[in-house]
């Protein structure tokens, strides 16, 4: 889940990082190296975390051991906020995707800050509402859109699509298995669509661990899957069986051709405008 922080957009004159650094006891700043676990599923939920630098991956594991990625958070976002609402145990796991600088705020200190500083309270509520809207859009996306459009949306959100003056952004390269978990499809389909995006110039693989995502990837979300090219001059998708054909849908999924006629999500329509 990686959209521009609601905190920064709500009031540019209020610096939450500066405020959180002065709330007194119950807070600490720590550096977390890449791939280190911040907390695990079932741990006591006793603190909220604020990302000062880096990116964090949230996951959940089922009773049979199947792991799912819930989202990716970046600088300026909170996680672990369930403890404020009375959540006793962590519902998932948080892992550092990059080297991170995190501000840990004990539950008691967070509650005190929310009661004492009304502007911070307003911003925190605005952030939570933004996250809730994102979860609703994730559900709509899963129900109505094709796996190709869902993958494009995940990449655009990771790249913080809509940032003023930015046409492309580098994001940490995730494994195709992780992307498949986030999209709700198979690794083979993710591989097929990532190759298509690369050939069309929507994404580029940088040297190292980064992936560059171009804002032109939005064409995939706004495009009706009717066999026409995504961009002028680009080859049409091959719907025939055999070499280069799109892998079959996950068993139990509605056919992508039925999903793809649905309208794009409102948030991307707004950002395009």
> Structural domain boundaries of the chain?
6-138, 145-272
Find the distance separating the first CA and the last CA of the chain, reported in whole Å.
Answer: 22
> Mind listing the pLDDT tens digit for each residue in 121-180?
988 999 899 888 988 988 888 888 889 999 999 998 888 776 555 566 878 788 888 899
pLDDT for 4 equals 44
Assess whether pLDDT exceeds 60 at residue 272.
no
DSSP 65: S
The residues pairing with 105 across neighbouring beta strands, listed in sequence order, are 27, 48
DSSP 89: B
Most trustworthy range by pLDDT among 18-27, 229-238, 253-262: 18-27
Could you tell me whether strands 27-32 and 56-61 are parallel, antiparallel, or unpaired per DSSP bridges? Answer: unpaired
- Taking the CA atoms of residue 246, residue 250, residue 254 and residue 255 in that order, the dihedral angle to the nearest 10 degrees is 10
**Mind listing the pLDDT tens digit for each residue in 184-214?**
889 999 999 999 999 999 998 876 678 889 8
Give the confidence band of 3 by pLDDT, cuts at 50, 70, 90: very low
Q: Top-level CATH class of 6-138? A: mainly beta
C-alpha 186/C-alpha 183 separation (Å) is 9
Take residue 24 and report the two structure tokens written for it: 């007194």
| DSSP 8-state secondary structure symbol assigned to residue 249 | P
Going by DSSP bridges, is the β-strand pair 210-214/56-61 parallel, antiparallel, or unpaired? Answer: unpaired
Has residue 36 got a pLDDT over 90?
yes
Q: Which residues contact 22 (CB under 8 A, 6 or more apart)?
A: none
For residue 190, what pLDDT is reported?
94
Whether residue 1 is predicted with pLDDT greater than 60 in this model: the reply is no
Percent of the chain that is helix, strand, coil (3-state, to 5): 40, 20, 40
Model confidence pLDDT, tens digit, residues 108-138 = 999 988 998 888 898 899 989 988 898 898 8
According to CATH, the topology of domain 145-272 is Arc Repressor Mutant, subunit A (1.10.10)
């Amino acid at each position: 889940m990686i959209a521009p922080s609601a905190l920064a957009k709500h009031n540019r004159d209020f610096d939450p990082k500066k405020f959180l650094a002065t709330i007194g006891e119950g807070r600490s700043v720590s550096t977390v190296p890449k791939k280190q676990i911040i907390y695990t599923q079932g741990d006591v939920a006793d603190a909220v975390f604020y990302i000062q630098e880096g990116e964090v991956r949230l996951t959940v594991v089922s009773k049979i051991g199947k792991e799912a990625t819930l989202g990716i958070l970046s600088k300026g976002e909170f996680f672990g906020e369930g403890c404020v609402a009375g959540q006793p145990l962590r519902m998932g796991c948080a892992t550092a995707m990059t080297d991170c600088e995190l501000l840990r705020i004990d539950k008691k200190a967070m509650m005190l800050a929310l009661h004492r500083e009304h502007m911070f309270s307003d911003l925190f509520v605005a952030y939570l509402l933004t996250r809730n809207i994102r979860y609703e859009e994730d559900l709509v996306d899963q129900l109505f859109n094709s796996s190709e459009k869902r993958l494009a949306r995940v990449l655009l959100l990771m790249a913080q699509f809509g940032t003023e003056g930015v046409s492309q952004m580098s994001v940490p390269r995730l494994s195709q298995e992780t992307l498949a978990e986030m999209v709700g499809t198979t690794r083979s389909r993710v591989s097929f669509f990532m190759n298509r995006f690369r050939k069309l110039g929507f994404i580029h693989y940088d040297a190292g661990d980064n992936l560059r995502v171009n804002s032109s990837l939005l064409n995939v979300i706004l495009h009706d899957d009717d066999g026409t090219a995504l961009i002028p001059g680009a080859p049409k998708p091959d719907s025939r069986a055999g070499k280069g054909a799109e892998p079959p849908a996950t068993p139990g999924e509605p056919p992508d051709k039925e999903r793809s006629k649905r309208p794009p999500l409102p948030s991307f329509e707004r950002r395009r405008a």
